[in-house]
């Protein structure tokens, strides 16, 4: 079985985000970029399925600017077999919406015919939490989002999902879309020899136009603003002082 993992190249989660003064967006020029953390988890899961003999090939796909190939190389160094870069933007500030990403991924999947797609639950830049579900819809496949456990059992994936009340286990027909949540696994670091080897693994470059997908955004950004700031309050010296302040305020 072939697995496809879509991975997004975006601002590193440790970088402090700055809203541009003109309100046009968030400053991304010259900031550290990395693989979306949820996608590292997705790639790790796919590699583990390969190691367990449940899959035989892992293809990673990224859509965005040319520099996304760095993130694809990271996935290749972790253990992916080959990569597809779909160049759909020439400026990092131009985010490709989940609907357009899903359409491009559908085209890739139609050609590659994987048995399973593992995406991340959410991209930590746009916080959309949508692409996997949209892709499943376009393909007419089943979906198992927010996975904390994945087992392949014959023609099905049995997936435990993190939901509001706790955990839900479902069984979804393959091929299917799974999206990875935080507890699915702990991603490995790529070793130096594997980073070297990854440089020789195949990385195919395409464009959105090759797939005939229009990436024009459906949502026009009117403005981007800083959230209301919250200022620090006061330090209290003891538990008793804390409790009496809260009582004074009438909140306990």
Partner 1 sequence: MAVLLLAEIAGGALALDATAKAVTAAKSLGDVTVLVAGPAAAGEAASKIDGVAKVLVADDAAYANGLAEPVADLVVSLAGNYEHIVAPSTASAKNILPRVAALLDVMVLSDVTAIVDGSTFERPIYAGNAIQTVKSNDSKKVLTVRTTAFDAAGQGGSAAVEAIAAAGNAGLSAWVEDKVAASDRPELTSAKIVVSGGRGVGSEENFAIIEGLADKLGAAVGASRAAVDSGFAPNDWQVGQTGKVVAPELYIAVGISGAIQHLAGMKDSKVIVAINKDEEAQIFQVADYGLVADLLDAVPDMTKAL
Ligand X SMILES: Cc1cc2nc3c(=O)[nH]c(=O)nc-3n(C[C@H](O)[C@H](O)[C@H](O)COP(=O)(O)OP(=O)(O)OC[C@H]3O[C@@H](n4cnc5c(N)ncnc54)[C@H](O)[C@@H]3O)c2cc1C
Helix or strand holding residue 34 (H, E): strand 33-35
Taking CB within 5 to 8 Å according to partner kind, which of ligand AMP, partner 1, ligand X, none is near residue 8? ligand AMP
* Sole residue written with tokens 């579900």: 133
Under 8 Å CB-to-CB from 3, ≥6 apart: which residues? 46, 49, 50, 55, 57, 58, 59, 114, 115, 116, 117, 118
21 binds partner 1 (CB under 8 A): no
Please identify, among the stretches 45-53, 159-167, 187-195, 196-204, the one whose residues bind partner 1 according to the rule CB under 8 A: 159-167
Residue 207 has which token pair? 């464009």
245 binds partner 1 (CB under 8 A): yes
149 binds partner 1 (CB under 8 A): no
219 binds partner 1 (CB under 8 A): yes
Question: Minimum distance from CB of 203 to partner 1 (Å)?
Answer: 28
Degrees, nearest 5: CA angle 104-106-109: 115
Please identify, among the stretches 39-47, 55-63, 84-92, 234-242, the one whose residues bind partner 1 according to the rule CB under 8 A: 234-242
187 binds ligand X (CB under 6 A): no
**Of these, 21, 111, 192, 239, which contacts partner 1 (CB under 8 A)?**
239
Q: Give CA–CA dist 37/125, Å, rounded.
A: 11
Under 8 Å CB-to-CB from 13, ≥6 apart: which residues? 34, 37, 124
189 binds ligand X (CB under 6 A): no
Question: Minimum distance from CB of 20 to partner 1 (Å)?
Answer: 9
Under 8 Å CB-to-CB from 111, ≥6 apart: which residues? none
Question: Minimum distance from CB of 239 to ligand AMP (Å)?
Answer: 42
Contact positions with ligand X (CB under 6 A) in 104-133: 124
Query: Exposed/middle/buried for 164, CB within 10 Å: 0-12, 13-18, 19+?
Result: exposed
187 binds ligand AMP (CB under 6 A): no
Question: How long is the chain?
Answer: 252
**Site of interaction with ligand X (CB under 6 A):** 13, 37, 124
């Amino acid at each position: 079985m072939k697995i496809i993992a879509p991975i997004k190249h975006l601002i590193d989660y440790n970088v402090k985000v700055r809203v541009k003064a003109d309100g046009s967006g968030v400053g991304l020029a010259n900031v550290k970029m990395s693989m979306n953390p949820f996608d590292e988890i997705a790639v790790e899961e796919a590699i583990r399925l390969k190691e367990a003999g449940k899959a035989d090939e892992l293809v990673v796909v990224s859509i965005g600017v040319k520099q996304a190939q760095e993130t694809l190389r990271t996935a290749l160094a972790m253990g992916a077999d080959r990569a597809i870069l779909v160049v759909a933007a020439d400026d990092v500030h131009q985010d490709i919406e989940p609907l357009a990403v899903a359409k491009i991924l559908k085209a890739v999947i139609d050609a590659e015919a994987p048995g399973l797609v593992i995406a991340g639950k959410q991209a930590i830049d746009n916080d959309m939490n949508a692409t996997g579900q949209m892709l499943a819809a376009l393909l007419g496949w089943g979906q198992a989002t927010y996975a904390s456990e994945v087992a392949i059992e014959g023609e099905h994936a049995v997936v435990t999902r993190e939901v509001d009340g706790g955990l839900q286990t479902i069984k979804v027909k393959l091929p299917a879309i799974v999206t990875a949540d935080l507890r699915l696994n702990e991603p490995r670091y790529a070793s130096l020899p594997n980073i070297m080897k990854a440089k020789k693994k195949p990385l195919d470059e395409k464009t959105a136009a090759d797939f005939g997908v229009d990436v024009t955004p459906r949502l026009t950004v009117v403005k981007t603003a800083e959230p209301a700031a919250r200022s620090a309050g006061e330090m209290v010296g003891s538990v008793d002082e804390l409790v009496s302040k809260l009582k004074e305020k009438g909140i306990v």
